[in-house]
Amino acid sequence: MENTFKGITDPFVLKNGVRIPCVGLGTFKLTNDAEGVQVIESAIVDCGYRHIDTAAAYKNEASVGKAVKASGVPREKLFVTTKVWNVDRGYSQARQAFDLSLERLGLDYVDLLLIHWPATQKHYMRWEQVNIDTWRALSEIYAAGKAKAIGVANFKPSHLEALMDEEIQPMVDQIEFHPGYYPKETAEFCRENGILVEAWSPLGRGKVLESPVLEKIAAAHKKSTAQVALRWILQHDALPLPKTTHLERMEENADIFGFTLTPAEMKAIDEMPETGYTGQDPDTVDF
Ligand SMILES: NC(=O)c1ccc[n+]([C@@H]2O[C@H](COP(=O)([O-])OP(=O)(O)OC[C@H]3O[C@@H](n4cnc5c(N)ncnc54)[C@H](OP(=O)(O)O)[C@@H]3O)[C@@H](O)[C@H]2O)c1
């Protein structure tokens, strides 16, 4: 399959018509404020990133907000995602948590708001209802225009199904997705339901970059293994969110448009042995 993106600001279009730049900058573990501001501002100004992925749990929303302002790029040209953390599940907690996120970001709205992890039967008797209650908070935030789009993260089809009868349905599911961990079943469910998949840890936190499968394909295209990993994700119609603090890697991760993986190369990566999986199954994680 070949998509027609020519650069990182070309958009996927969500089911509500919102346009989302097809590569985003991850910010997990970017917890030092000064470094965070510098890295994110540089991604925007020097590298042309327009899509930043943060979360209340990353403790860097304030850095993202400062970088957005310092960049001088008009707010409407940027796409900022944040997420409601697990301790804030439920209707009123999620509403309050979002207000605090906005305050830390110093923004009037976010472009995308996600439930960070599903409530599951491991921690809740009525887990479906907890997810519905949290979802209704997000739906109201969306209706009030304070989030331009809403969605979930780490939801498997069983968790998504419990939300599919809601008036507003999830527009995005952000899940672990990288060579060595291809979550095909969730991706197919999302495709069938018009939900955009965003790929977290698209480089397997660096652990997949020495895979012989990727090395061979990278050599054939004169690209790096990181570029092949990100390209594979895009060709699966998923949106990669690579995180890096290094300018040259930001540039490398943005330079994934001048080549196309063949169907055989796609298949070889689909079928790679499990590599770099975090082991964070949403049904069994402890947080
Ligand atoms: N929703 C969720 O539950 C969830 C969970 C995890 C992550 N996420 C999101 O997804 C983003 C990305 O995931 P991640 O941070 O876990 O991992 P990742 O993006 O797969 O990997 C990041 C690691 O790869 C290195 N790296 C980046 N580009 C590289 C390149 N071109 N060549 C070699 N190494 C490179 C980085 O090092 P340097 O920084 O030193 O360059 C860093 O150590 C997060 O930052 C976060 O925004 C969401």
Structural contact between residues 61 and 82, judged by C-beta atoms closer than 8 angstroms: yes
57-84: per-residue pLDDT in tens?
Answer: 999 999 999 999 999 999 999 999 999 9
16-43: per-residue pLDDT in tens?
Answer: 999 999 999 999 999 999 999 999 999 9
- Using the predicted structure, report yes or no on whether residue 95 has a pLDDT greater than 80: yes
CA nearest to 152, candidates 198, 204, 104: 198
Distance 203 CA to ligand 1 centre (A): 6
- Using the predicted structure, report yes or no on whether residue 51 has a pLDDT greater than 90: yes
> Closest ligand 1 atom, CA of 253?
31
> Stretch 172-190: mean pLDDT, rounded?
98
> Closest ligand 1 atom, CA of 203?
20
**Is the CB of 229 inside a 6 Å radius of any atom of ligand 1?**
no
Structural contact between residues 162 and 130, judged by C-beta atoms closer than 8 angstroms: no
Mutation to probe ligand 1, out of 27, 52, 201 (largest number of atoms < 8 A from CB)? 201
Structural contact between residues 14 and 198, judged by C-beta atoms closer than 8 angstroms: no
**Is the CB of 80 inside a 6 Å radius of any atom of ligand 1?**
no
Tell me the pLDDT of the chain averaged across its residues: 97
> Stretch 115-129: mean pLDDT, rounded?
96
Check residue 2 and give its pLDDT.
Answer: 52
* Cα–Cα distance for residue pair 156/173, rounded to 1 Å: 9
Check residue 1 and give its pLDDT.
Answer: 43
- Is the pTM of the predicted complex or chain greater than 0.75? yes
Residue type, 167: E
> Stretch 100-126: mean pLDDT, rounded?
97
Distance 251 CA to ligand 1 centre (A): 14
**Is the CB of 81 inside a 6 Å radius of any atom of ligand 1?**
no
Check residue 3 and give its pLDDT.
Answer: 72
**Is the CB of 23 inside a 6 Å radius of any atom of ligand 1?**
no
Instruction: Return the ∠ at Cα 28 (arms to 75 and 20), rounded to 5°.
Output: 40
**Is the CB of 282 inside a 6 Å radius of any atom of ligand 1?**
no
> Stretch 8-13: mean pLDDT, rounded?
98
Distance 187 CA to ligand 1 centre (A): 20
* Cα–Cα distance for residue pair 70/40, rounded to 1 Å: 10
Mutation to probe ligand 1, out of 60, 203, 246 (largest number of atoms < 8 A from CB)? 203
> Stretch 124-135: mean pLDDT, rounded?
97
Distance 6 CA to ligand 1 centre (A): 22
* Cα–Cα distance for residue pair 204/278, rounded to 1 Å: 8
Distance 225 CA to ligand 1 centre (A): 14
133-176: per-residue pLDDT in tens?
Answer: 999 999 999 999 999 999 999 999 999 999 999 999 999 999 99
Active-site positions read 58
* Cα–Cα distance for residue pair 212/228, rounded to 1 Å: 12
